[in-house]
Chain A
Amino acid sequence: MALHLTPRDSGLITVVDASGRITLGDGSAMLRKTIRQLVEEAHTNILLNLADVDYIDSSGIGELVSAYTAVRSKGGELKLLHLTKKVHDLLQITKLFTVFEVFSDEPSAIGSFK
């Protein structure tokens, strides 16, 4: 299933609703392009909603990390919302839970941005 990303504004935060798979090829490329575009437009506080993403491979993990570092290098933050169990487990075994801030409800996630 192809990855679809839909950015929406929530105050000073951009929420990106994702659905599909973040995998080698189109999925990873789509995420890279979207984040790059948001950063270029100075949208550097990003909440990535992964509620409808149930599959991420190592390429997708790499792209998430790349997005995280790209946003941080511009003084912003990238946080994750609504992880599915598979994605949750994947971030746990790769220790990326120690890197990403992860939320299970949107208002709390929005409120956590400085």
Chain B
Amino acid sequence: MAEDTKHLEVTLETQVESVNLAEEMCLRLAEAAGFGEDECYRIGMSVREGVINAFHYGNKEKPEKKIHLAIELTPEKMIIHVTDEGAGFILKDVPDPLAEENLLSTSGRGIFLMRAFMDEFDVVKAETGGAEIVMSKRLPGAGSAPSNGSGSGGHHAGPHQGA
């Protein structure tokens, strides 16, 4: 890891409170990194959705399992990893919440929101065997962000190497 990269890792319990905790933690880091209000909202929402995904779909709300949150702050971007201890999933198998038949679904929008709100988004197989969500947002003034069409294919932010 480059010397000018800051790194933070937290292990969270599989409980609802972890969702708010992770969101608040990342919001503070994003604010300190210079992101504006709108971008902080998008980052906070994405972290929230990542942890909800790990809590509900990955760890199946089992309290003996953990959620691993890691944040890297490079000179170019903020990279967030959310890893669960579930069975993992294939990103392309996730139903499109914008499809007519899914519009009235009461779940299944978290992945879509993360994709829409972050510059890069991907899901890889974690060392735990579970899913590792990797998403990033370019820092203000770090150059133009890569385009990310809502609901389109994921962009690879790189799997977590530091856990």
Contacts and interface: CB of A to CB of B under 8 A. Distances in A.
Interface of A: 23-25, 57-59, 61-63, 65-66, 68-69, 86, 90, 93-96, 98-99
B16 A65 contact: no
20 contacts: A24-B48, A24-B52, A25-B16, A57-B48, A57-B49, A58-B107, A58-B109, A59-B52, A62-B105, A62-B106, A65-B104, A65-B105, A90-B113, A93-B150, A94-B97, A94-B109, A94-B112, A95-B98, A96-B103, A99-B104
Contacts of A62: 105-107, 109
A23 B18 CA distance: 13
Chain A contact residues, majority secondary structure: helix
Chain B contact residues, majority secondary structure: helix
Contacts, number: 49
A100 B9 CA distance: 40
Contacts of A99: 103-104
Contact of B106 (A65, A86, A90): A65
Contacts of A68: 104
B89 interface: no
Nearest to B111: A58
A93 B112 CA distance: 9
